[in-house]
Amino acid sequence: MLDAFERRLDQVLRLLAHAGGLVLAGLAVLVIYEICARYFFGRPFRGGFEMTELAMSVIVACGLPYTAIQRGHVSVDIFSKFLDRPSMRWLNFGIHALGAIVLGTLAYQSFGYAMKSYGYGDVSNMMRIPKPPFQFAVAISAGLFTIVLILDALKALRPTTEIREDAQ
């Protein structure tokens, strides 16, 4: 059941990462448009700075959980042989659970931060773009990352399952 859930989650997170990729492609187009506006149309586009900043938060938010489920976040794996022993499964569970607690707290606090920001109508300086949707995106991303870590913690407890080596 865990494996089926992980496969489905992987698909969803991959879609999310693709969406982030499209935002990045759009960002590249926006920056190129800015250059053209400055040199060829004589009308510099002033909102680019803010749009880039907000787009960056979406790009990172879309990528974090996918990279997590793909074991793409960098970790030191010199003791892998030792840690992959079945006797170490409680330690592995503990590490993933600790990570889930920290990231879960981050997700909860980020959500609160976004709610507060929504409460007083936080917007960007020049284009008046509302910031809360982007802050919520980061909070949701951290929440999804937490789910991946919970999944890893549960998988670590399975006695017969080998823990996948970290990608990096």
**Residue numbers at the binding site for other proteins (CB under 8 A):** 14, 17-18, 20-22, 24-25, 27-29, 31-32, 34-35, 49, 52-57, 59-64, 66-68, 70, 72-80, 83, 91-92, 95, 98-99, 102-103, 105-106, 109-110, 112-114, 134-135, 138-139, 141-142, 166, 168
Give min distance, CB of 82 to other proteins, in A.
10
Residue 34 near residue 45, CB atoms below 8 Å: yes
- Residue closer to other proteins, measured from CB, 67 or 151: 67
Residue 153 near residue 96, CB atoms below 8 Å: yes
**Residue 47: partners with Cβ closer than 8 Å, 6 or more residues away:** 126, 127
Give min distance, CB of 157 to other proteins, in A.
16
Dig out the tokens for 86 from the structure.
């079945």
Burial group, residue 156, by CB count within 10 angstroms (0-12, 13-18, 19+): buried
- Residue closer to other proteins, measured from CB, 3 or 93: 93
Give min distance, CB of 163 to other proteins, in A.
9
- Residue closer to other proteins, measured from CB, 3 or 53: 53
The alpha carbon of 108 is separated from its chain's Cα centroid by a whole number of angstroms, namely 14
Residue 157 near residue 89, CB atoms below 8 Å: yes
- Residue closer to other proteins, measured from CB, 3 or 105: 105
Residue 15 near residue 168, CB atoms below 8 Å: no
Give min distance, CB of 2 to other proteins, in A.
20
- Residue closer to other proteins, measured from CB, 2 or 109: 109
Give min distance, CB of 69 to other proteins, in A.
11
Least Cα distance to 52 among 68, 28, 78, 35 occurs for 28
